[in-house]
Chain A
Amino acid sequence: MTPAIQLIEATKKYGSFEALKSVSFAIEAGSLVAMLGPNGAGKTTSINLMLGLRRPTSGRALIFGEDPRRIATRQRFGAMLQESGVPQLLKVTELVQMFRSYYPKPLPTDLVIKLAGLEEKANTQVKDLSGGQTQRLYFALAICGDPEILFLDEPTVGMDVEGRRAFLSAIRDFSAKGKTILLTTHYLEEADELAQRVLVIDRGNVIADGSPQEIKSRVAGSKISFTSSAPVDAAALKDLPVSTSDVADHRVTLMTNDPQTVLRELFRRNIDMSNLEVRGADLEEAFLSLTGGH
């Protein structure tokens, strides 16, 4: 069967900067996939190639095996973009009706507004919506054509906790109807909560591709750092369950998924530690552990 979404050795250069480096992957119809990566990793560039908003410098981007720039292909997907706007003086309902007319078999306007949780704002002009409500309006515009594929670029940015929960459940409902969904995020927990498959992107490369469980097991969740009064010998840190270790003279930084064991081991080895700090790794650090440092 033709994959719903396909990048084939897609490279994108902006001037001399290579935002995407010969990336290939296929997404089967009906799957819910998250693209995870830090800012500037190439997530939005990938989405833009798939939507036909940008052309690959080399390689190809295909939707159901077709060029995404064709109108007939575009009728098969809806998109929620990070940086885009809509007419500020139109009301929510009017805008949904306008976008519905672009598709051959759209969902009823009332249903779209309900799915996006905008019932109370249906007659409000876009300029009077809050940030979270605007995000939900973009979601309404993405789903109103009842498309086979949904592209969601950082969909939960600007949403409050309540709005986010309702939104994630709306995405799950859409997925349950057999739709293909590709979303980008830089939150591992969001990818974990939603997706069946996670593509990890870093510096223009796909560096991991697997189930959320597989990805989580490979990402270091904690960061341990301490200062030692004497320079630490690399041998003293041998055989610890850490993914990366960084010894800069007196300062030691360890990335691990098993902080308890590492700490127990450090104490047992009698390593002199002051300013000991253990905290959850942020995404940037977690990625470093995936890529094995630079």
Chain B
Amino acid sequence: MARIFLMQTRAEMLKFWRVPAFGFFSLGMPLIIFAFFGLRQATQPLYPHAAITVGMYVMASMAAYTVGNVMVFSFGMALAIERGQKQDVLLRASPLPPSIYVLAKVVNAAVFALVALVVLFLFAHFAASVNLGLDTWATLAGRLLLGSIPFIGLGLGFGYLVGPNAAPAVINFVYLPIAFASGIFIPVNQLPDFIRGLAPYLPLHPFVELGWNAIGFPTDRSVSTDILYLLVYAVGFFALAVWAYRRDTAAKFA
């Protein structure tokens, strides 16, 4: 069982890293956005007398964006492509346990998200003088990796619903507006009124709050409330994924 898991994870990683465009997009985009929003006044306090700087706040926002993006995209794209190429047919006839198949993808996505976080952390540290204790960096990364579980469900849902050609556009069309409306790029209080009312209930809002809270930003809600929101979203998104999976397989494997 250990061997099958190792080999499956290795295969997942190999094919993942052989798509340079995805790696570049996932690692590079957060740095570019950070440069836009976080480099200017990076060392200034976020608000008068604040202990945290603009650089820290934008870095935490981008860290949440990055991890959520890796989860939604890696699962959504991989599944859409696999279904498009009918890879699911041969795997289904093989003795690969479905749990190992999913677990290998989770490990691959988590490793990739961690790499993307480290790249972002290094960039923020050296380019924007973001200085945090090692325990704070670790807390931030750990919270975001664990808190990203609902977005795996969302990615799986996309993967079973959308075709391989439409997937990148559809996922961006959903993920980016939610990221904006959740206050990841622009603080919630600067958003248009009707979105401000909606923001606290969007899935990326409790997620980015976990990140903000880790660096000491006083968030509106407590960590436990944010976790509760994420749990509810996890249940909802995985229910969506199961429904989409059944819809897809009912047509092909009934």
Contact = CB atoms under 8 A, between A and B. Distances in A.
A89 B19 contact: yes
Interface string B12-29: 001100110000000000
Size band of the interface chain A makes with B: 20 to 34
Interface string A30-56: 000000000000000000000111110
Interface string A220-261: 000000000000000000000000000000000000000000
B14 A90 contact: yes
A99 B91 CA distance: 9
Contacts, number: 77
A120 interface: no
Contact of A53 (B10, B15, B93, B95): B93
Interface string A67-99: 000011011000101011111111000110111
Given A53-B253, A90-B11, A99 B87 contact: no
Nearest to B90: A84
A102 interface: yes
Interface residues of B, number: 25
B87 A85 contact: yes
Given A83-B86, A83-B89, A89-B18, A95 B11 contact: yes
A102 B4 contact: yes
A2 interface: no
A141 interface: yes
B15 A79 contact: no
A51 B97 CA distance: 15
Given A71-B97, A87-B82, A101-B3, 19 more contacts: A74-B93, A74-B94, A75-B95, A81-B89, A85-B89, A85-B90, A86-B87, A86-B90, A88-B85, A89-B15, A89-B18, A90-B14, A94-B11, A98-B10, A98-B11, A101-B7, A101-B8, A138-B90, A145-B95
